[in-house]
Amino acid sequence: MSNNNNTKVRVRFAPSPTGYLHIGGLRTALYNYLFAKKNKGTFILRIEDTDRARYVAEAENYIVNSLKWAAILPDEGPAFGGDYGPYRQSERKEIYLKHVENLIENKKAYYAFDSAEELEQMRENAKAAGNAHQQYNASIRMKMNNSLSLSEAETKAWLSSGKPYTVRFKMPTEETIEFEDAVRGKVTFKSNELDDKILMKADGMPTYHLANIVDDHLMEISHVIRGEEWLSSTPLHIMLYKAFAWQAPTFVHLPLILKPNGKGKLSKRDGEQHGFPVFPLKWLNDETNAEQPGFKEIGFLPNAFNNMIAFLGWNPGNEQELFSIEELVESFSLERIQKAGARFDWEKAKWFNKEHLMKLTAKEMLQPVKTANAKLLNHYEDEAIIAAIEMVKDRMTFYSDLESQAGFLFAAPESYDEKNVKKRYKLENKVHFNNLIEIFEGLENWKSANIEASLKSYLEQNELGFGAVLPPLRIMLTGIMGGPSVFDIADFIGKNETINRINIGLQQFEKLKAS
């Protein structure tokens, strides 16, 4: 199928399966997806696997599984079908060969027979002459071993010999290359500053530059939305479109995702150093051979993850920060993508997850919470777990936080906040706790409101303030100062457990006060 007037929006996410998919790559996929859905267009996954030397067998599955987890589902692709395939570049070799031959016939490209040693010698000679940055370009090509410098007979002899060769693009000279980038505005390059890039490698596989142009044209891509690291390659791509007499798509180059300190591109090492993930799913660390958790395993909700990465380089132009995927589609526009790099903020990332988690009901959280806290919750009924979630939901950032925020609901504290015990508990108040135990033992309807009423009544009768009893009681029941209502906690754990924890607390507090 050929490229037409590009009236229909068709975009592609085209990762290379040479390693794990970084969140920067998933953000590129998300922006393509949002733009396609906003414009009722098509979102395509294409696997650019022409770099066979760096190919990682499981990387394609990782890419597809990451997209599925984030619910950024392609309309076309290797695992999704479509009419413009194959969608793996390794399966399109004959297509590229035909287009390379077209360029050679039209004198837009040429065969290059230079050996690695000859290329190295060229660079050494250039250095000796004071030109350390010599490229294989118009100034040097006629001095090299290629079909431009050799006779037709010599070229034919080389090609028929079976010796390896590459195909290079013949970059025109004295041309100004201009294009309009949707994020950066007008971008200008001089063709004399560009080299004759290899289009077909010695193994017969195309380079990214050729395959990317041919595929974008044949798949009728209307907008190329990709990372800014590809901006410097765009002039070559523009010249290739011109060489084929094809219409170029609209280019959109996205800002980098920066380290937390804003200095340099976010990398795997930043995550390892600061203790946060930079990959969507779990991955195997080649250096330590240990499996590392991704955003999914840490406990991020797909909605929260998408919301978070959407804001790494884009904003809606108003004060709203929390978006569902449907709201992101509705609000997204290329005009709101920023030029400057976007600093990754782990605390802000967690905030997004916390806010999205709070939008769920306790019942919706039940199964993921049970999975994330399996050891703690193994013997408890769903009803009790839902009640616990209700009590601490607004304190949780991840499903796994139930244990840290409400572990005391399921198991008595093994230690106490010593500093607060010494500060808040007075030995002379032991009599009041013994009196409360008697009151609690006689309380027939053990409910939060009744527990609270009986305790308040006792305090009033004895002219005591809340501070005399409530903080120490909280520590006796939970081990810590923070948490939900003391009366709700007592209601949850039951009368016998409440009294038991008070008795143990009185014994332990005396020891702590004496130490």
Q: Check: CB of residue 83 under 8 Å from CB of residue 89.
A: no
Are the C-beta atoms of residues 166 and 203 closer than 8 Å to each other? no
Amino acid (1-letter code) at residue 12: R
Q: What is the DSSP letter of 76?
A: B
Q: Do residues 409 and 369 touch, judged by C-beta distance below 8 A?
A: no
Six-digit token pair at 420? 């607060």
**Nearest CA among 278, 280, 322 for reference residue 303:** 322
Contact 299, 57 (CB under 8 A): no
- CA atoms of 465 and 470, how far apart (whole Å): 9
HSE toward the beta carbon, residue 489, CA cutoff 13 A: 29
Please report which residue ranges of 7-57 form alpha helices under DSSP H.
23-38
Distance, CA of 439 to CA of 58 (rounded, Å)? 64
Under DSSP, is residue 376 helix (H, G, I), strand (E, B) or coil?
A: helix
Residue 511 CB burial class (10 angstroms; 0-12, 13-18, ≥19): exposed
Nearest CA to 215 out of 30, 13, 55, 7 is that of 13
Q: At 401, list the tokens.
A: 């936080």
Measured distance CA(378)–CA(370) in Å, rounded: 8
Count how many residues are written for the chain: 515
Catalytic (active-site) positions: 268
Query: Do the strands 185-190 and 176-181 form a parallel or antiparallel pair, or are they unpaired?
Result: antiparallel
E strand map for 307-457: 342-343
Contact 488/391 with Cβ under 8 angstroms? yes
